[in-house]
């Protein structure tokens, strides 16, 4: 993994490094560079008046310019001055991983860039959204603190198996929509699949609810007053369509509060309402209130039920501090009597795997009672060695334990494990574990050593393994990836035209005759293209080639009248040609 000399990236744990890909800057085409330049020029011209103030100076602090797609080295050179870093990934990554990157102060940047056909907005994450949307606000310390803390909370959020199905459907749609040559039928099928899953999500999980808070703040948030809000959400800052549309009076602006969790969102459509926070402290207050309802703070029966519903690796922490990581299965009909996993399970304490208790050792699952011993007024984890001996728990001796829940453990004690004075684990040989209430045998002597967790309750539950690097968790890396485009001779020639226009603009290597030849070739061979013509118009206007400029403008207006999707794009482009914005971001 390339770290760009940034200490923030160098400290990333291994389980996050699996999502990182090389940027491969050379694969950006001249058309891609023109798409970036158009969006950035439009954004700068408009957002300097409606974006939250730190956004415009924040662009420079994040290592961004109008002229070129940012390279990750330049971004990291700038962001490390703010205590952050940036890494490129392949499109959407699972929400839990996205959150954890934030907790480590790393912005994940989708390596791809939207096609010209989706220049105004794309549901797919791309380098415009991730870098020009998220990165500039990092320069605001209060917002950066919120983003990092959101990542810490999000890392603990429980998700359901339906959430991962939804993630896969969203990722598939984003890949199809940005795939060169994708058919309308393929796009419609992907949209239908997403709608089908969205309509059958059931009760929203913690991650689903938390994602709503993320959406209405980090992605689509407004700050200030209801009557005069400013934009700080990355989804708005990176969309030249929605950044203007969202400010219309017919888009409701609501005060931001915890009620935002009751507002689902659709990534394929403009937002029906937006939320306005008076300051970033309000964001932290709402996040803290939501965190108080989450399983990692509540634990208990509800937390265990969420772990079972997840059907993926989760961690249950006993009241004594032992952390059990695995796929949890139901037992006990709604009561916490016996914690049980299926398949590879690991035990940890304080986020570090216990020696000898890896997922290879507990390859077939783990199970343990929870609660007090029958007739005892003290929790078992509070017993010292003397007290343990009074109930027959001594290394080398036979023990017979009956819990209030009806779980019966009988076997020879072979070891007792304590950490920081906490009794975590008692291990038995020749052990039998039964549920006296219905006679179910939970462990037999010939299965080997029985490791019994100690704890009267469940203190915390969260998604993922306690020690993720030791657990080598890689189950949620998506199987589907975007294929790099293959360009034919006609498209390659168009790339050459775009490159020539950039060369003329940057090095002034071209006169009116050369500009005219390029425009005539565009008009004849690429009648569908508008962006290159707009760039030629800009050059002709700057150099006083009035006849050429007039001809290009007339043709662009005619094209936009015949294609409503181009009307605003062309009109905005013409407006900037006539009134170019001037600022430190503009080329000198």
For the stretch 64-119, pLDDT in tens is 999 999 999 999 999 999 999 999 998 777 778 888 999 999 999 988 888 888 88
454 shares its domain with 529: no
Q: Are strands 367-369 and 338-349 parallel, antiparallel or unpaired?
A: antiparallel
327 within some domain? no
Among 420, 444, 461, give the residue marking a domain's end: 461
Binding-site annotation: residue ranges: 129, 134, 219
443 shares its domain with 558: no
Q: How confident is the model at residue 191 (pLDDT cuts 50, 70, 90)?
A: confident
Q: How confident is the model at residue 42 (pLDDT cuts 50, 70, 90)?
A: confident
Task: Identify the pLDDT of residue 586.
Answer: 41
370 shares its domain with 496: no
322 within some domain? no
575 vs 195 pLDDT, higher one: 575
133 shares its domain with 195: yes
509 vs 275 pLDDT, higher one: 275
353 shares its domain with 220: no
451 shares its domain with 496: no
Contact 233, 132 (CB under 8 A): no
Indicate the SS3 state at residue 408. strand
User: What is the DSSP secondary structure assignment for residue 544, as one 8-state letter?
Assistant: T
Task: Identify the pLDDT of residue 6.
Answer: 96
Average pLDDT, integer, range 213-241: 91
Judged against a pLDDT cut of 80, whether residue 509 lies above it is answered with no
Binding-site annotation: residue ranges for Fe cation: 129, 134, 219
Task: Identify the pLDDT of residue 43.
Answer: 83
535 shares its domain with 442: no
531 shares its domain with 570: yes
Judged against a pLDDT cut of 70, whether residue 199 lies above it is answered with no
> Could you tell me the pTM of the whole model?
0.84
428 shares its domain with 501: no
Judged against a pLDDT cut of 60, whether residue 477 lies above it is answered with no
445 within some domain? yes
Percent of the chain residues topping a pLDDT of 70: 92
Q: How confident is the model at residue 122 (pLDDT cuts 50, 70, 90)?
A: low
Contact 299, 462 (CB under 8 A): no
471 within some domain? no
User: 423 phi and psi, to 5 degrees?
Assistant: -80, 115
Task: Identify the pLDDT of residue 192.
Answer: 77
296 within some domain? no
**CATH number, position 164:** 1.10.800.10
193 within some domain? yes
Task: Identify the pLDDT of residue 588.
Answer: 32
Beta-strand ranges (E) seen in 197-281 are 221-224, 229-231, 253-255, 274-277
Find, among 348, 224, 200, the residue nearest to 277 by Cα.
Answer: 224
User: What whole-number distance in Å separates Cα of residue 472 and Cα of residue 128?
Assistant: 32
Instruction: Give the chain's domain count.
Output: 3
367 shares its domain with 413: yes
Among 221, 254, 287, give the residue marking a domain's end: 287
Rg (alpha carbons) of the chain, rounded to whole number: 29
Indicate the SS3 state at residue 539. helix
Range of the domain at 498: 489-578
229-285 residue pLDDT tens: 999 998 888 877 777 788 888 999 999 999 999 998 877 778 899 999 999 999 999
493 shares its domain with 431: no
45 shares its domain with 111: yes
**Mean pLDDT of the residues in the chain:** 89
């Amino acid at each position: 993994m390339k770290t760009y000399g940034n200490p923030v990236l160098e400290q990333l744990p291994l389980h996050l490094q699996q999502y990182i890909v090389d940027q491969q800057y050379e694969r950006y085409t001249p058309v891609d560079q023109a798409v970036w330049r158009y969006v950035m020029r439009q954004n700068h011209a408009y957002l300097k008046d409606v974006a939250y103030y730190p956004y415009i100076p924040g662009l420079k602090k994040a290592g961004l310019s109008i002229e070129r797609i940012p390279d990750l080295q330049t971004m990291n050179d700038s962001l490390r001055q703010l205590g952050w870093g940036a890494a490129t990934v392949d499109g959407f990554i699972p929400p839990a991983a996205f959150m954890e990157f934030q907790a480590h102060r790393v912005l994940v940047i989708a390596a791809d860039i939207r096609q010209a056909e989706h220049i105004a907005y794309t549901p797919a994450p791309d380098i415009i959204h991730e870098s020009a949307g998220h990165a500039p606000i990092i320069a605001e310390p209060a917002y950066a603190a919120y983003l990092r803390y959101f990542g810490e909370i999000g890392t603990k959020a429980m998700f359901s198996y339906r959430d991962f199905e939804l993630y896969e459907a969203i990722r598939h749609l984003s890949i199809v929509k940005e795939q060169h040559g994708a058919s309308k039928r393929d796009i419609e099928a992907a949209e239908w699949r997403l709608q089908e899953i969205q309509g059958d999500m059931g009760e929203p999980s913690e991650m689903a609810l938390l994602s709503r808070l993320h959406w209405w703040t980090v992605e689509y948030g407004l700050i200030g007053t209801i009557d005069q809000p400013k934009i700080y959400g990355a989804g708005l800052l990176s969309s030249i369509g929605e950044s203007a549309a969202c400010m219309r009076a017919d888009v409701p602006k609501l005060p931001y509060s915890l009620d935002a969790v009751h507002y689902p969102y659709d990534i394929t459509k403009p937002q029906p309402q937006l939320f306005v926070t008076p300051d970033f402290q309000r964001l932290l207050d709402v996040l803290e209130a939501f965190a108080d309802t989450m399983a990692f703070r509540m634990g208990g029966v509800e937390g265990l039920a969420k772990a079972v519903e997840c059907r993926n690796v989760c961690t249950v922490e006993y009241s004594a501090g032992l952390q059990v990581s695995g796929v949890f299965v139901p037992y006990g009909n709604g009561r916490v009597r016996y914690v049980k996993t299926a398949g590879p399970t690991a035990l940890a304490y304080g986020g570090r795997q216990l020696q000898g208790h890896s997922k290879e050792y507990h390859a077939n699952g783990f199970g343990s009672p929870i609660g007090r011993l029958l007739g005892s007024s003290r929790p078992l984890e509070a017993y010292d060695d003397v007290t343990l001996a009074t109930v027959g728990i001594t290394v080398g001796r036979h023990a017979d334990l009956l819990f209030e829940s009806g779980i019966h453990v009988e076997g020879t004690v072979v070891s007792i494990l304590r950490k920081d004075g906490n009794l975590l684990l008692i291990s038995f040989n020749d052990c039998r574990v039964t549920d006296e209430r219905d006679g179910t045998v939970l462990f037999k002597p010939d299965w080997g050593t029985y490791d019994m967790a100690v704890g009267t309750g469940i203190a915390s539950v969260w998604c993922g393994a306690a020690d993720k690097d030791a657990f080598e968790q890689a189950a949620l890396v998506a199987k589907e990836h975007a294929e790099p485009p293959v360009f034919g001779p006609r498209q390659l020639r168009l790339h050459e035209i775009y490159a020539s226009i950039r060369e003329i603009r940057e090095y002034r290597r071209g006169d009116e005759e050369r500009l005219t030849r390029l425009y005539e070739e565009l008009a004849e061979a690429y009648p569908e293209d508008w962006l290159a013509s707009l760039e030629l118009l800009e050059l002709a206007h700057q150099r006083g080639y009035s006849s050429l400029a007039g001809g290009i403008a007339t043709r662009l207006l005619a094209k936009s009248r015949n294609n409503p999707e181009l009307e605003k794009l062309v009109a905005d482009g013409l407006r900037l040609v006539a009134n170019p914005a001037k600022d430190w971001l503009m080329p000198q």
